[in-house]
Structure 1
């Protein structure tokens, strides 16, 4: 049986999709890529409803799949994730090829549901109930090479209820995964060849601060994972500024393998807008966190999320966001136009900012971010840095030389030109580490040549 998974949205969704794919492969299914999804017996769409555009893309995709899958009457679609939690069995009414709808807590039972649906063609199933505690997931490990980078979910849901955010409504209240289970999965990844682990959660800084917690705080979990043999880099996303503890900040100074990169969503530079958003910190508090992070790790690279055009945002308040960006000098950011999401408090805040004004502000903000990114990247030209290779590069090396893409400790993509015989000497360089010299800064990546690579000797 063939399956394909198409993923929209955040890194949490990507992690869920990776687990589901690995589990189905372990159960004997064969995976085919998303661009060949119409040939699959089961297409799983992992959805996002945090913003309007991914939601629209899901409905458009379902329409195309309905037509493409007509030649295979046993083929069906499973819709999971946040939009599935939000729209529920409405998918059954609108799309006859949808036979499974599973919410964020229902993902743990999705592989068995897919197996059952493949055996019972007339059946439809929905898995939409929220669980009171973190639902354990079976871990299947097919006999195959694992990627160097592993993603490990440590919690589900969120208790913050920011005024613009649908996450607590579609992912439920916060539920922390027991620390021994997290550590067991991390050990399994490392034993199978992974060298880098990213811990995932809606708000990892509040890990353990709920009824599902076992007394382990996030700083303690970081130290426990960082101490596992074979781990080269430890990362985590996403952090809420109001919950970042001094112990977590100190970890950047004390843990050698905690990567010097942090995604710390600020959303706005205006205190009034932050208050309307329900973020529970102000500009001064955010800048104090940044200062303490840079005191702990002076070279730390910061990225963020920004919302443009929140209801009632004035031009002066938008300028406060630009000035914050200049002051912090984010290396990258994800920026979005505000739009109402069903059931959130911001729907009732008036007046709304006109679409044309929001668009103009977004373009100005993104132009500023491009400049900040280019300046940050340009500062690395001529310097050496360590890179872990991940895949073949989209940028070929000079002449006929092979080229590989990797990431540095800060999470930047680095395209590395290799000696012409490197591939002959080492068939698979994925996961290998090398020191490289940065030769060129691009808009969103760096080019480099090898400085030192023991595996090429």
Structure 2
């Protein structure tokens, strides 16, 4: 790795490494923009003076990846002692000051409510090379962050797209979930602030906005709410002139209101796709999980969504091998997945998370059995995904271009990658002379359905 200027105050370079959900991605993007405004420069990992690690602890695997990364950085920083690490996100909230004790090169630990204080804290740490900090308090209300011009960042997540947080935390306390402990209780933002942020983003050229929250369907139901329901918020954001696409995640089935279901049939901007975590198809296990709905409720929601929007693409989360899960419970999950016909799913083996009720539950499932069930579930999902994509052949799709495809076939033609309104990945070729297409909308005729994506040719003008 190249040597660098050791005068840290003169260069102020950083690199962000992000684990976990879209909320973490959003926080990392805000940090990059905010630091850029303060005179910092985002650089590659081997050039950075400060490494910002934004962590996830929803499952054990991403948490272990954080420790592995810190082990790698330990060896590198030993050769470059003027560099240091800031650790934030859910693992930081969970482990807290122990990071400072275990890793001398970690000089800042910040929790999920303290992202807004990080830019100023990093400036202070650069001025005082011996100082170390922990910012771990939860805010009483929705944590404030300075407004940052969306065009101020040198790099954005995806051209033409933006995430907007509408709430923090969660009040559900599902038996397996660590989120309420590391992100705090639910706090909703003021609807006017959300709408204004969305308006500014659209004015800057954003075409697609995704509203983010641990449980967006319960937006406004906490004491921080201003009386605006989630359905009303969708109406206001969808009405913004120039907004082409609107999405939201994540939804909890227990709070999905009829008005939100109806919105899929009324709002042109609202994309016909929904991620609706089922977690399990057995009422017995759902009750043990503390999910507060049964399969009759869940399937009723699915029917309602398909009635107002027959073409809606549904995706889900699934946990395999929860404590006490029998073969029959698992078979019920398989049957439910097939009945709904999910286009895709995120499925995971249950793992204990510290402090949760499930951690102390008896009747833990053998790891081998968990693995076998996961393979069977994922095999079923692959069949459903292939069938859903196959049905797209011969149709036309409006694609929002995200980036160049990973695989390129020639010098004169560039393969581009984007997503249709249903969230499906679409690849298509376009002459190199056309320039950068990222952030543009293009109409594509789908010719081939692959394992996890679609490919076709442009048939409509760009706009």
Cα shift at 1:38: 4.0
- State the partner residue of 2:37: 26
- State the partner residue of 2:445: 437
Is residue 279 of structure 1 aligned with residue 294 of structure 2?
Answer: no
Q: Is the 8 A contact 1:150 1:194 kept in 2?
A: yes
Query: Partners of 1:145 and 1:167 in 2: how far apart?
Result: 29
CA distances 1:385-422 after superposition (whole Å, capped 9, x unpaired) = 1111111112335784211111100111100112x3xx
Query: Partners of 1:283 and 1:145 in 2: how far apart?
Result: 43
- State the partner residue of 1:162: 174
* Secondary structure of the corresponding residue to residue 197 of structure 2: helix
Query: Partners of 1:399 and 1:382 in 2: how far apart?
Result: 28
Task: Please list, as runs of the form range in 1=range in 2, the aligned pairs for 1:315-330 lying within 5 A after superposition.
Answer: 315-330=327-342
Q: Is the 8 A contact 1:311 1:350 kept in 2?
A: yes
* Unmatched 5+ stretches in structure 1: none
- State the partner residue of 1:57: 65
* Secondary structure of the corresponding residue to residue 459 of structure 2: strand
Query: Partners of 1:5 and 1:330 in 2: how far apart?
Result: 33
Change (3 A) 1:144 1:81: closer
- State the partner residue of 2:5: none
Q: Is the 8 A contact 1:38 1:69 kept in 2?
A: no
Q: How many residues align?
A: 448
Query: Partners of 1:453 and 1:327 in 2: how far apart?
Result: 38
Is residue 343 of structure 1 aligned with residue 337 of structure 2?
Answer: no
Q: Is the 8 A contact 1:293 1:300 kept in 2?
A: yes
Q: Is the 8 A contact 1:438 1:449 kept in 2?
A: yes
CA distances 1:161-186 after superposition (whole Å, capped 9, x unpaired) = 00000000100000101111111111
TM-score (norm 2): 0.95
CA distances 1:87-118 after superposition (whole Å, capped 9, x unpaired) = 00100111111010000011121111111111
CA distances 1:163-219 after superposition (whole Å, capped 9, x unpaired) = 000000100000101111111111111111111000000000000111111111101
Query: Partners of 1:145 and 1:275 in 2: how far apart?
Result: 44
Is residue 394 of structure 1 aligned with residue 406 of structure 2?
Answer: yes
Q: Is the 8 A contact 2:402 2:438 kept in 1?
A: yes
Query: Partners of 1:357 and 1:17 in 2: how far apart?
Result: 37
Indicate which of 404, 420, 440 corresponds to 1:408: 420
Is residue 70 of structure 1 aligned with residue 70 of structure 2?
Answer: no
Cα shift at 1:75: 1.3
Q: Is the 8 A contact 1:396 1:417 kept in 2?
A: no
- State the partner residue of 1:107: 115
Query: Partners of 1:105 and 1:251 in 2: how far apart?
Result: 31
* Secondary structure of the corresponding residue to residue 402 of structure 1: strand
Indicate which of 358, 362, 375 corresponds to 2:387: 375
Query: Partners of 1:129 and 1:429 in 2: how far apart?
Result: 43
Cα shift at 1:144: 5.3
Change (3 A) 1:143 1:39: closer
Query: Partners of 1:83 and 1:399 in 2: how far apart?
Result: 44
Query: Partners of 2:348 and 2:154 in 1: how far apart?
Result: 38
Task: Please list, as runs of the form range in 1=range in 2, the aligned pairs for 1:1-40 lying within 5 A after superposition.
Answer: 1-33=12-44, 37-40=45-48
Query: Partners of 2:449 and 2:344 in 1: how far apart?
Result: 14
- State the partner residue of 1:98: 106
Is residue 289 of structure 1 aligned with residue 329 of structure 2?
Answer: no
Query: Partners of 1:32 and 1:413 in 2: how far apart?
Result: 29
Cα shift at 1:71: 3.4
* Secondary structure of the corresponding residue to residue 274 of structure 1: helix
Q: Is the 8 A contact 2:32 2:153 kept in 1?
A: no
Cα shift at 1:139: 2.0
Q: Is the 8 A contact 1:151 1:198 kept in 2?
A: yes
* Secondary structure of the corresponding residue to residue 78 of structure 2: coil
TM-score (norm 1): 0.96
CA distances 1:282-308 after superposition (whole Å, capped 9, x unpaired) = 011100000000011111000000000
Is residue 230 of structure 1 aligned with residue 238 of structure 2?
Answer: no
Cα shift at 1:39: 2.8
Q: Is the 8 A contact 1:3 1:31 kept in 2?
A: yes
Deviates more, 1:365-374 or 1:69-78: 69-78
- State the partner residue of 2:458: 450
Cα shift at 1:431: 1.4
Is residue 175 of structure 1 aligned with residue 175 of structure 2?
Answer: no
* Unmatched 5+ stretches in structure 2: 1-11
Is residue 248 of structure 1 aligned with residue 260 of structure 2?
Answer: yes
Q: CA RMSD in A?
A: 1.3
Is residue 360 of structure 1 aligned with residue 368 of structure 2?
Answer: no
* Secondary structure of the corresponding residue to residue 197 of structure 1: strand
Query: Partners of 2:61 and 2:147 in 1: how far apart?
Result: 32
- State the partner residue of 2:129: 121
